[in-house]
């Protein structure tokens, strides 16, 4: 087959800028072949190279005594004691999900699960953070249905419990939805597998499903803005098969037990290219691949297509040659492909041979290390305009307005489409703060949460970045967990615009300060830029996924609200309404600054909750919607009414940080207050639980009616 000539248009259509192409010419000293151009494009796109973000990501705190492996591998690894580790990461699949919601979301889940089990960890929990356009937008209903079904379709079949997540709506996502998928797995610390190849002449083995033409150019597509040609991009979306992934996981974990694995890497973005280069580069070796040996499911595939395909459920491994028979037997057992497709070589070469023809011959280390890196111009986000007067409103009217909004209504319609209990260790299902999964066969458990408030980040990227981390910290604390570490999924618009880059830089600064102060280092992450359509960007959305440890069953703070419990707020209430949910949903306003985050207070209040858990029957963090919404959610969860004494709008709906709402026995409230007094922590009695109504500042509605309002929003909009 005649390969296309390398023209300016062809280079541009591969997403390579003229100066980037000049670097390629300099590296190889000649014009690249078509396959080589594809390989450079795959390695140097934004999605794979982090070329706009690297400079800033390096500033994030990534170390701590609990960290076994920070960013740079397939997922982060954190010690949870007793020779066990939790392995986790969050990753976006935004662009594909907008083009083809079911498959885009499904393969997003598949990709993140693969990242986890590639390291030797069995996935035990999943979460997803979803952002959609306004509900009246013509695409939203289809996207919500498709994405939710895709997430469920993949995770449910694979057999991992989905225990948490977020769903939000804002017109800024009309042209770009966000699908951020998180997975965590469990591994023994002495049986973790990495991607660095070692040894010359070692067989490179292809594992899993066969290669097709799906997803060719996917990573490059995901590194560009959308316009009206979006329908043409459908073939760049991969197609997932969770049944194959489940078998691939079982086979991979079994294979690792045989001792045959030197190194292993899943084939994700840019498939065979990226995985082979990664293994060679990390091991300081070259790689030769003979493409006629690659298992394919379509005829006449070219070298270019095979190198750029993003067919799912595939892995690449460097094998101990003496254990080939044992390794192959495992894959035969699971009816999966096992093919030696190449070998490691001493020279720094990425040599691609197809039926005897050399299709690419590139210096391997340059593909990884010489990827362009940009210090993009940026401008700080201007200070938010001051908050103008906010009128007082009837508290129940305010609460009803929040509960009628899909942003704050019950998400039951979504999470009941996800299997939350497979594996038998889920002890807190979605719907009320962090999800909790036991570490099988031990008294330990892990808590998971995913948080970000994009409108805060837009108004004030630094404080918004801090707040995302602080809210995650609080959600883990509220169930009694000790926050361990964090994964960040940075979703932003076009980084070539200085104001967008300014949002990114600010958010990174805030996240960095917060994870340092709260001792929850970043151990993995993902950056998704160019979330723009026709020049309009999304709200800056740095999603924070965080994991906490419950060292024993006694650490758990149950959601055990009973009739007669008193309601108390821990932390200082000043009534900050800038950028609040109330302002947005009731008054349709977005003025004022984001709430500021006092990280010292966050840490102190978190420790206080954990140290005094014996007095606390239930706990929730105060965030969006303030005290009023938190009190309703706690009451709804327990099916017990609540009375709050205040009628003051800022006090009820303000979103001051570092606060928790706790329920405790009347006779234990005093002990808690005295402990708070001794620790110098603000604590206030705000009301009590009981009855069948929600009464706030003298205004009343029945709990049943409010629950009905909250529960009916999603079914009405999306069923």
Question: How many other C-beta atoms lie within 10 A of the C-beta of residue 276?
Answer: 31
Q: Which is nearer to other proteins, 137 or 412 (CB)?
A: 412
CB of 714 to other proteins, least distance (A): 12
Q: Are 187 and 306 in contact (CB under 8 A)?
A: no
Q: Which of 92, 99, 93, 42 minimizes the C-alpha distance to 234?
A: 99
Beta carbons of 328 and 260 less than 8 angstroms apart:
no
Nearer of residues 340 and 423 to other proteins, judged by Cβ: 423
DSSP state of 346: S
Question: In this structure, what token pair is assigned to residue 210?
Answer: 């066969």
State yes or no: is 440 an active-site residue: no
| Contacts for 531 with CB less than 8 Å, ≥ 6 apart | 94, 95, 176, 178, 491, 492, 493, 537, 538
> Which C-beta is closer to other proteins: that of 409 or that of 673?
409
Nearer to other proteins, 198 or 421 (CB): 421
**Residues within the annotated binding site for Mg(2+)?**
91, 115, 266, 526
Q: Give the long-range contacts of residues 412-416, CB within 8 A, separation 24 or more.
A: 412/711, 412/714, 413/714, 413/715, 413/718, 413/719, 414/130, 414/148, 414/165, 414/167, 414/714, 415/162, 415/165
The token pair at 174 is 């009309």
Binding residues: 50, 89, 91-95, 114-115, 238, 266, 310-312, 488, 525-526, 528
Catalytic residue among 93, 354, 565, 576: 93
3-state secondary structure of 286: strand
Comparing CB distances to other proteins, the nearer of 164 and 242 is 242
CB of 244 to other proteins, least distance (A): 8
User: Residues interacting with other proteins, by CB under 8 A?
Assistant: 149, 152-153, 156-159, 241-244, 246-247, 334-335, 415-424, 426-427, 429, 438, 553, 719
CA atoms of 613 and 619, how far apart (whole Å): 9
Q: State the SS3 of 552-597.
A: CHHHCCCCCCCCCCEEEEECCCCCCCCCCHHHHHHCCCCCCCCCCC
Quickly tell me which residue has 């040996």 as its tokens.
Answer: 293
Using the Cα atoms of residue 535, residue 536, residue 540 and residue 544 in order, give the sign of their dihedral: negative
| Residues pairing with 88 in the sheet | 76, 184
In a 3-state reduction of DSSP, which class is residue 393? Answer: coil
Angle at 222 between CA 217 and CA 225, to 5 degrees: 120
**Minimum distance of other proteins from residue 341's CB (angstroms):** 24
The nearest distance, CB 185 to other proteins, in angstroms, is 15
Q: Scanning the structure block, which residue is given the tokens 């660095």?
A: 196
Cβ 348 to other proteins shortest distance, Å: 41
Beta carbon of residue 536, minimum distance to other proteins (angstroms, whole number)? 32
- Closest distance to other proteins from the beta carbon of 465 (Å): 34
3-state secondary structure at position 611: helix
Q: How far is the CB of 114 from other proteins (least distance, A)?
A: 16
Q: What DSSP string runs through 424-450?
A: S-EEE-TTSSSEEEE-TTSS-EEEEEE
Contact indicator for 405, 706 with CB cutoff of 8 Å? no
Nearer to other proteins, 3 or 332 (CB): 332
| Cα gap 348→640, rounded to integer Å | 67
Q: How far is the CB of 2 from other proteins (least distance, A)?
A: 39
Six token digits for residue 542? 């740095």
Q: Any catalytic annotation for residue 47?
A: yes
Q: What is d(CA 380, CA 509) in angstroms, rounded to the nearest whole number?
A: 12
- What's the helix, strand, coil split of the chain in %, to 5? 40, 25, 35
Strands 203-208 and 314-319: antiparallel
Q: Which is nearer to other proteins, 336 or 662 (CB)?
A: 336
> What residues form DSSP beta bridges with 77?
69, 87
Contact (Cβ atoms closer than 8 angstroms) between residue 543 and residue 488:
yes
Q: Is the dihedral of CA 491, 282, 120, 270 positive or negative?
A: positive
Which of residues 40 and 418 has its CB atom nearest to other proteins in the complex? 418
Considering 14, 47, 565, 605, which one is annotated as catalytic?
47
Q: Which residues are annotated as a binding site for ATP?
A: 50, 89, 488, 525
Query: Closer CB to other proteins, residue 88 or residue 158?
Result: 158
Q: Which residues are catalytic?
A: 47, 93
């Amino acid at each position: 087959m005649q390969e296309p000539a390398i023209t300016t248009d062809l280079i541009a259509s591969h997403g390579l800028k003229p100066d980037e192409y000049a670097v390629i010419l300099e590296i190889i000293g000649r014009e690249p072949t078509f396959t080589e151009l594809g390989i450079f494009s795959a390695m140097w796109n934004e999605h794979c190279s982090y070329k706009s973000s690297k400079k800033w990501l390096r500033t994030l705190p990534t170390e701590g005594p609990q960290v076994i492996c920070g960013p740079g591998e397939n997922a982060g690894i954190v010690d949870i004691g007793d020779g066990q580790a939790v392995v986790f990461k969050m990753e976006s699949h935004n662009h594909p999900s907008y083009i083809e919601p079911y498959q885009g979301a499904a393969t997003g889940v598949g990709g993140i699960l693969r990242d986890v089990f590639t390291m030797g960890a069995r996935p035990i929990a999943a979460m997803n953070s979803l952002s959609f356009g306004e509900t009246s937008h013509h695409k939203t209903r289809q996207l919500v249905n498709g994405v939710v079904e895709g997430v469920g379709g993949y995770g449910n079949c694979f057999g991992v419990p989905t225990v948490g997540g977020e769903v939000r709506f804002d017109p800024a996502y009309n042209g770009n939805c966000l699908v951020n998928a998180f997975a965590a797995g469990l591994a023994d610390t002495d049986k973790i597998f990495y991607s660095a190849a070692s040894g010359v002449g070692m067989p490179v083995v292809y594992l899993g499903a066969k290669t097709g033409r799906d997803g060719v150019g996917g990573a490059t597509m995901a590194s560009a803005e959308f316009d009206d040609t979006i329908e043409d991009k459908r073939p760049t979306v991969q197609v997932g098969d969770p049944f194959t992934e489940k078998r691939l996981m079982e086979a991979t974990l079994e294979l690792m037990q045989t001792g045959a694995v030197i190194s292993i890497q899943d084939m994700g973005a840019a498939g065979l290219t990226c995985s082979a280069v990664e293994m060679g580069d990390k091991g300081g070796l070259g790689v030769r691949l003979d493409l006629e040996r690659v298992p394919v499911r379509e005829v006449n595939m070219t070298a270019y297509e095979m190198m750029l395909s993003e067919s799912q459920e595939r892995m690449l491994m460097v094998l101990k040659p003496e254990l080939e028979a044992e390794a192959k037997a495992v894959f035969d057992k699971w009816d999966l492909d096992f093919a030696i497709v190449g070998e490691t070589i001493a020279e720094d070469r990425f040599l691609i041979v197809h039926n005897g023809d050399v299709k690419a011959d590139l210096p391997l280390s340059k593909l990884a290390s010489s990827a362009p890196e940009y210090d993009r111009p940026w401008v700080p986000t201007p200070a938010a305009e001051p908050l103008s007067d906010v009128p007082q409103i009837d508290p129940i009217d305010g609460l009803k307005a929040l509960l009628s909004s899909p942003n704050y209504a019950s998400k039951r319609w979504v999470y009941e489409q996800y299997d939350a209990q497979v594996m038998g260790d889920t002890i807190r299902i979605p719907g009320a703060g962090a999800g909790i999964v036991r570490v099988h066969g031990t008294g330990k458990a892990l808590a998971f949460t995913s948080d970000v408030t994009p409108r805060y980040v837009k108004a004030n990227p630094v404080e918004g970045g801090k707040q995302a981390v602080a809210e995650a910290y609080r959600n883990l604390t509220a169930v009694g967990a000790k926050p361990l570490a964090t994964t960040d999924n940075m979703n932003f618009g076009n980084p070539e615009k200085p104001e967008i880059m300014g949002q990114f830089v600010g958010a990174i600064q805030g996240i960095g300060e917060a994870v340092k102060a709260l001792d929850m280092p970043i151990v993995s992450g993902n950056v998704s830029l160019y979330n723009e359509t026709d020049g309009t960007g999304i709200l800056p959305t740095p999603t924070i996924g965080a994991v906490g440890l419950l060292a024993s069953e006694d650490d758990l703070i149950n959601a055990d609200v009973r009739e007669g419990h008193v309601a108390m707020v821990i932390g200082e209430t000043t009534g900050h309404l800038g950028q609040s949910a109330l302002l947005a949903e009731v008054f349709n306003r977005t003025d004022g600054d984001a709430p500021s985050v006092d990280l010292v207070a966050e840490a102190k209040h978190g420790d206080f909750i954990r140290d005094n858990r014996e007095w606390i029957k239930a706990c929730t963090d105060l965030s969006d919607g303030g005290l009023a919404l938190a009190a309703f959610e706690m009451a709804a969860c327990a099916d017990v009414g609540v009375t709050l004494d205040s009628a003051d709008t800022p006090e009820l709906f303000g979103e001051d940080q570092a606060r928790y709402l706790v329920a405790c026995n009347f006779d234990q409230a005093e002990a808690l207050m005295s402990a708070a007094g001794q620790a110098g922590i603000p604590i206030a009695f705000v009301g009590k639980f009981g009855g069948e109504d929600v009464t706030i500042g003298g205004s009343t509605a029945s709990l049943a009616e409010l629950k009905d309002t909250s529960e009916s929003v999603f079914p009405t909009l999306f069923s």
